[in-house]
Amino acid sequence: MTTLAEYLSTQHAVPGHAPWPRVLVDESAWSIALGALASGRWSLLDLWGEPGMIHMALLDSALPYAPAIGVASLAAPDGRYQSVAQFHPPALRLERALCDLWGVQPIGLPDTRPWIDHGAWGLRHPAGTASIAPDTPDTPYPFLPAEGEGLHQVAVGPVHAGIIEPGHFRFTANGETVVRLELRLGYAHKGIESLLAGTPLDRAARIAGRTSGDSTVAYQFAFARAVEAALEIAVPPRAVYLRALMAELERLANHLGDIGAICNDASFALMHAHCGVLREQVLRAAGAAFGHRLMRDAICPGGVAGDLTEPGAAVIRTAITEIHRRFPALVELYDNTASLQDRTVSTGILRPALARLYAAGGYVGRASGRDFDVRRAFPYPPYESLAFEISLRDDGDVNARVWVRIREVEQSVALVTRILDSLPGGPLDVEPPHANGPREGMAMVEGFRGDVLVWLRLDGQGNVARCRLRDPSWFQWPLLEAIVEGNIIADFPICNKSFNCSYSGHDL
Amino acid sequence: MRKLLFQSLVRAPLTETPPLPEGAAIAEVGASLAERARRRLGRSLSIREVDAGSCNGCELEIHALNNAYYDLERFGLRFVASPRHADLLLVTGPVTKNMRAALEFTWQAMPDPKWVVAVGDCGRDGGCFAGSYAVGGGVAAVLPVDLHIPGCPPPPVEILKGLLALLDSAATRPGS
């Protein structure tokens, strides 16, 4: 049994790729990697394309003290290559999206229905050959069948009853019990990867920060780190700490909002109202300190866009004190309300084996026993010098996900205080130098939802040649379909909110 | 729970004084509202929100309008689940081609009189996603837009100002 590190060391390494290796593999080495994925020894982090080439990012966490990441690149001049999904189901939608966008032909792909392409672009394979094609808006999408007596279908979306992102859910139910849920996504597809190709660095950073609105800090952070890895820039310590401060504020705001919203989906509005107040206080503090409530465009490649002033830090401290004071009573309220627990306990159980197979990131994975947090597994500055705990459970239900997020709120509160206490002085950024020739970089950052992965190639003239942004939702959406099975339709909203996957981040 | 509820009773409310509607927004809205419609609207408005491919940033700030600080419903403004119940369509996002048909269906399902408000910079002209093969040129390329609320995303108070402008122009116009 080869480890990923051994596998990578025996392949042809591509020069100028940092910090993890990228290797060119032939078809037999590609098969070896597929075997390791099928056996569950490695996990799939991402699968993406460019003309004539398929890239696969892999994670080997068999040795918890020495996890490894690497990219295997397979030349596919005619677009044909051996499908990953036939051996490793988590690759399925990534490969369907590859087919839609790039026109590749994975041999043995178990599901050849389009995924992102709804027949409305006037183009086929827009990222690849981009041939003109007539729109086919009326072509029905063939949902997977469910057969049996007394089954009926419920179609929801893409316009939902609430204020949420667009997506279609097709339930097949027997009475109230869901027999099968199938998602159809792609409604929010904006062609971000194509927009990023050939774009100047500053504009690319702006677009990357708008991949998923609730994770704008995480995306800017990961994008900046990938650029810095490619150009071998060391970011000044003050910028590094300010980035982590923003990342923890973003985590806090999202967790607080979602804990309330999950309870609201059980019609427990009191939690929602109180958590909403705390979330608003975090956003206002972020707005006062960084000039934008969601901290858009506050991180740039090379550093941060603005400094944190003394009054700004004081506003953040006030918000944190308020959470510290008010949150415990809300946790107690959650814990002691039997009618609420009745809705969350044993609802939407994600089995640990599935979480592991899909390498589910964030609280989805950690509530189902997957001990993975990028801040710990592949620590990036300043997290290697900050103490914090990772909450882990293995019951995998809505309640477990709520508790993991409650613990993460407490950890983020402590982290924000620690960061403010140890904030170093000094410059805020370094000017990204122009590299001689193309360079490639990769970065993974722990957003509130899970690991955000960015891979990019810079062309040496200050432009992004290619950029791939992978949201954790790619590996969480399919799990949502799995956990809803056997639950009642009325519990779907609470299951869905306990995952809170991104539509825009997935659809790109 | 009783303790929390009691504390909320004796605590001063968090809800803030409403902002003044923006002059420019009033002018834009005023021009687009027919007198008869204004009379019917009064000071109450049901809103159907549609995300036409936004990054979700605008949705987060629209959600915030319902929190205790902004308390949208005190103005007679409320979000409804069905377009059949809505007076106003609040649209975010650059209108992706994959969402265009659903947006049009939602608009068609709304009874007259009805208005469209586009929220966010990408709702105006596609924003930073303009020029992509997958997006159109903002909401106005698909529906008749009565008001734009700019920002990326606009903070809740700006969205509130815009919506209040819509109501005020309905209530204060002579002859209405």
Q: CB-based contact (8 Å) between B109 and chain A?
A: no
Higher-confidence position of B164 and A504: A504
Q: Are residues A103 and A242 in the same domain?
A: no
Contact A276 B67 (CB under 8 A): yes
A116, A138, A168: which is the final residue of a domain? A116
Task: Tally Cβ neighbours within 10 Å of residue A346.
Answer: 15
Q: State whether residue A227 is helix, strand or coil.
A: helix
Tell me what the mean pLDDT of segment B8-17 comes to. 81
For Cα atoms A469, A472, A478, give the angle at the middle one, nearest 5 degrees. 120
Q: Note whether residue A133 is domain-resident.
A: no
Prior bond of B113 cis (ω within 30°): yes
* The predicted structure's pLDDT at residue B30: 43
Among A135-144, B93-102, B163-172, the least confident range? B163-172
A75, A97, A116: which is the final residue of a domain? A116
Please give the single-letter amino acid code of residue B170. Answer: A
Please, which residues have CB within 8 angstroms of residue A302's CB and are 6 or more apart in sequence?
Answer: A224, A227, A228, A233, A235, A429, A430, A431, A432
Q: What is the rounded CA–CA span in Å between residue A332 and residue A334?
A: 5
* The predicted structure's pLDDT at residue B9: 81
Task: Tally Cβ neighbours within 10 Å of residue A126.
Answer: 24
Residues A100 and A115 sit within 8 Å (Cβ to Cβ): yes
Across chain B, mean pLDDT equals 83
CA-nearest of A56, A48, A43, A44 to A94 is A48
**Token digits of residue A239:** 């910028």
- pLDDT at residue B111 above 90? yes
Output phi, psi for A263, to 5 deg. -65, -35
Closest Cβ–Cβ partner in B53, B64, B133 for A123 = B133
Q: Note whether residue A254 is domain-resident.
A: yes
Q: CB-based contact (8 Å) between B69 and chain A?
A: yes
Q: Note whether residue A264 is domain-resident.
A: yes
- Among A159, A336, A507, most B C-beta atoms within 10 A, so best to mutate, is A159
**A12, containing H or E segment:** strand A12-13
Q: Note whether residue A59 is domain-resident.
A: yes
CA-nearest of B164, B163, B154, B166 to B54 is B154
Q: For residue B175, what pLDDT band results from cuts at 50, 70 and 90?
A: very low
Q: Are residues A245 and A374 in the same domain?
A: yes
Tell me what the mean pLDDT of segment A257-285 comes to. 95
- pLDDT at residue B171 above 70? no
**Token digits of residue A308:** 């944190």
What is the least distance, in Å, from the CA of B99 to any CA of chain A?
A: 5
Closest Cβ–Cβ partner in B51, B81, B94 for A190 = B94
> Which of A436-445, A471-480, B20-29, B141-150 shows the highest mean pLDDT?
A471-480
Closest Cβ–Cβ partner in B57, B129, B134 for A121 = B134
- pLDDT at residue B41 above 70? no
CB hemisphere CA count around B147 (13 angstroms)? 31
Percent of chain A with pLDDT over 90: 89
Strand partners, B147: B117
* The predicted structure's pLDDT at residue B2: 79
* The predicted structure's pLDDT at residue B7: 83
Output phi, psi for B21, to 5 deg. -65, 150
List C-alpha distances in Å: A73 to A196, A241, A460, A480, B50: 21, 34, 21, 30, 40
Q: Are residues A312 and A430 in the same domain?
A: yes
Find the closest chain B residue to A272 by CA distance.
B67
Please, which residues have CB within 8 angstroms of residue A58's CB and are 6 or more apart in sequence?
Answer: A4, A33, A36, A37, A42, A43, A44, A45, A69, A70, A71, A72
pTM of the predicted model, to two decimals? 0.94
Tell me what the mean pLDDT of segment A68-80 comes to. 94
Find the closest chain B residue to A331 by CA distance.
B1
Tell me what the mean pLDDT of segment A148-156 comes to. 92
Higher-confidence position of A171 and B23: A171
CATH number at residue A419: 1.10.645.10
Q: Could you report the per-residue pLDDT of B71-110, keeping only the tens digit for each? A: 888 888 889 999 999 999 999 999 999 999 999 999 999 9
Q: Are residues A253 and A391 in the same domain?
A: yes
Q: Could you report the per-residue pLDDT of A227-259, keeping only the tens digit for each? A: 999 999 999 999 999 999 999 999 999 999 999
- pLDDT at residue B27 above 70? no
Q: Note whether residue A495 is domain-resident.
A: no
CATH number at residue A84: 3.30.460.80
CB hemisphere CA count around A458 (13 angstroms)? 32
Q: Are residues A285 and A428 in the same domain?
A: yes
CA-nearest of A437, A32, A459 to A56 is A32
Separation of first and last alpha carbons in chain B: 47
Q: Could you report the per-residue pLDDT of A309-335, keeping only the tens digit for each? A: 999 999 999 999 999 999 999 999 999
Closest Cβ–Cβ partner in B56, B79, B133 for A165 = B56
Query: Which residue is listed with tokens 């949208």?
Result: B72
Query: What total of structural domains would you count in chain A?
Result: 2
- pLDDT at residue B38 above 80? no
Q: For residue A132, what pLDDT band results from cuts at 50, 70 and 90?
A: confident
Contact A126 B133 (CB under 8 A): yes
Residues A125 and A102 sit within 8 Å (Cβ to Cβ): yes
CA-nearest of A327, A278, A266, A321 to B64 is A278
Q: For residue A20, what pLDDT band results from cuts at 50, 70 and 90?
A: very high
Q: Are residues A102 and A244 in the same domain?
A: no
| CA torsion angle B97 A137 A128 A78 (round to 10) | 160
* The predicted structure's pLDDT at residue B176: 34
What is the least distance, in Å, from the CA of A161 to any CA of chain B?
A: 4
Q: What is the rounded CA–CA span in Å between residue A126 and residue B175?
A: 54
Q: Note whether residue A246 is domain-resident.
A: yes
* The predicted structure's pLDDT at residue B20: 61
What is the least distance, in Å, from the CA of A480 to any CA of chain B?
A: 20
Q: What is the rounded CA–CA span in Å between residue A4 and residue A61?
A: 9
Q: Are residues A289 and A415 in the same domain?
A: yes
Residues A379 and A430 sit within 8 Å (Cβ to Cβ): no
Tell me what the mean pLDDT of segment B40-52 comes to. 82
Residues A44 and A58 sit within 8 Å (Cβ to Cβ): yes
Please, which residues have CB within 8 angstroms of residue A276's CB and are 6 or more apart in sequence?
Answer: A257, A260, B64, B66, B67, B68
Q: Could you report the per-residue pLDDT of A374-409, keeping only the tens digit for each? A: 999 999 999 999 999 999 999 999 999 999 999 999
Q: Which residues of A303-329 are buried (b: 16+ CB within 10 A; e: fewer)?
A: bbbeebeeebbebbeebbeebeebbee
Q: Are residues A228 and A110 in the same domain?
A: no
Q: How many CB pairs under 8 A join A and B?
A: 155
Find the closest chain B residue to A122 by CA distance.
B133
Higher-confidence position of B33 and A143: A143
Q: Could you report the per-residue pLDDT of B129-149, keeping only the tens digit for each? A: 999 999 988 999 999 998 999
Beta strand ranges found along A416-478 (DSSP E): 439-446, 451-458, 463-470
Contact B53 A187 (CB under 8 A): yes
Contact B60 A191 (CB under 8 A): no
Q: Note whether residue A502 is domain-resident.
A: no
Q: Note whether residue A178 is domain-resident.
A: no
CB hemisphere CA count around A326 (13 angstroms)? 19
Q: For residue A492, what pLDDT band results from cuts at 50, 70 and 90?
A: very high
Q: For residue B45, what pLDDT band results from cuts at 50, 70 and 90?
A: confident
Closest Cβ–Cβ partner in B57, B132, B133 for A213 = B57
Find the closest chain A residue to B60 by CA distance.
A214
For residue A11, give its domain range. 4-116
β-strand pairing of B147-149 with B115-119:
parallel
A98, A116, A134: which is the final residue of a domain? A116
β-strand pairing of B88-92 with B115-119:
parallel
- pLDDT at residue B23 above 80? no
Q: Which residues of A445-483 are buried (b: 16+ CB within 10 A; e: fewer)?
A: bbbbbbbbbbbbbbeeeebbbbbbbbbbbbbbbbbbeeb
